[in-house]
Amino acid sequence: MKLNSLRPASGATKNRKKIGRGQGSGKGGTATRGHKGAQSRSGYSRKIGFEGGQMPLQRRVPKFGFKNNNKIVMKPINLDDIQTLSESKGLTEITPEVLKDNGMIGKGDIVKVLGRGEIKASLTVKAHKFSKSAVEAIEKAGGNTSVEE
Instruction: Tell me the percentage of the chain whose pLDDT exceeds 70.
Output: 100
Q: Is 80 exceeded by the pLDDT of residue 3?
A: yes
Class of CATH domain 74-147: alpha beta
The pTM (predicted TM-score) of the whole model is 0.58
Render 24-54 in DSSP notation, one character per residue: GGTS-TTTTS-SSSGGGSTT--PPTT--TTS
Please check whether residue 102 is in contact with residue 85, taking contact to mean a CB–CB distance below 8 angstroms: yes
CA-CA-CA-CA torsion for 108, 130, 95, 145, nearest 10 degrees? 150
pLDDT tens profile 95-124: 999 999 999 999 989 999 999 999 988 999
What per-residue confidence (pLDDT) applies to 90? 87
| Domain range list for the chain | 74-147
Please check whether residue 111 is in contact with residue 80, taking contact to mean a CB–CB distance below 8 angstroms: no
Other Cβ atoms less than 10 A from the Cβ of 113: the count is 28
For residue 93, give the nearest of 135, 134, 125, 45 by alpha carbon: 125
Split at pLDDT 50, 70, 90, the class of 93 is very high
